[in-house]
Amino acid sequence: MTKLTLGTHPFLLGFEQLERLVERTAKSGNEGYPPYNIEQTSDCSYRITLAVAGFGDDDLAITVEDNALVIRGRQSEDQENRIFLHRGIAARQFQRNFVLADGVDVGEAVMENGLLHVDLTRSAPEQIVKNISIRKG
């Protein structure tokens, strides 16, 4: 028996892109840094919170690229006159990718107590019923 995938199942027409999206998400290379939460704040809104202690507003960039929310962090190497006896606070760059479904919009981003909050809203899809006339051929 042949294995059916989303892109080859006869009743799922036009879902080939969804299969590629799942593969892309699996290969996105998101490691565990920085840690994050995703919470549902209402029926049609979400909040992503990243722990970005040590990063300032200017060290962070938030973009939407090809239906993905991309959050990048890069701290400036301001090491003048600093001698670390122990350095346990990470100062590395990062990139977090979150794939967005159609109809999900990125709202505001707020930095608060070392946490970056990014709000998302999902618009309810319209219920469309369309009658198709049958033409005699």
As given in the structure block, the two tokens for residue 16 are 């080939």
Q: How many CB atoms lie within 10 A of CB 55?
A: 20
Asked whether residue 11 carries a pLDDT value surpassing 70, the answer given is yes
More confident residue, 99 or 11: 99
Judgement on whether residues 61 and 15 belong to the same structural domain of the protein:
no
Task: Look up residue 98 and give its amino acid.
Answer: F
Place of tokens 């919470």: 39
pLDDT band at 104 (very low <50, low <70, confident <90, very high): very high
Angle (CA) 98-25-76 rounded to 5° is 50
Asked whether residue 81 carries a pLDDT value surpassing 70, the answer given is yes
Q: Is pTM, for the whole model, over 0.95?
A: no
Judgement on whether residues 12 and 23 belong to the same structural domain of the protein:
yes
Give the mean pLDDT of 103-130.
93
Asked whether residue 16 carries a pLDDT value surpassing 60, the answer given is yes
pLDDT (0 to 100) of residue 5: 67
Asked whether residue 50 carries a pLDDT value surpassing 60, the answer given is yes
Asked whether residue 12 carries a pLDDT value surpassing 90, the answer given is no
Report yes or no: 44 and 67 within 8 Å, Cβ to Cβ.
no
Judgement on whether residues 114 and 98 belong to the same structural domain of the protein:
yes
Report yes or no: 116 and 52 within 8 Å, Cβ to Cβ.
yes
Judgement on whether residues 91 and 68 belong to the same structural domain of the protein:
yes
- Which positions ≥6 away from 92 have C-beta within 8 Å? 33, 75
What is the number of domains present in the chain? 2
Judgement on whether residues 108 and 58 belong to the same structural domain of the protein:
yes
Length of the chain: 137
pLDDT (0 to 100) of residue 14: 74
129 in any annotated domain: no
**Domain limits for position 49:** 31-78+85-122
Judgement on whether residues 98 and 61 belong to the same structural domain of the protein:
yes
- The CATH number for 38's domain is 2.60.40.790
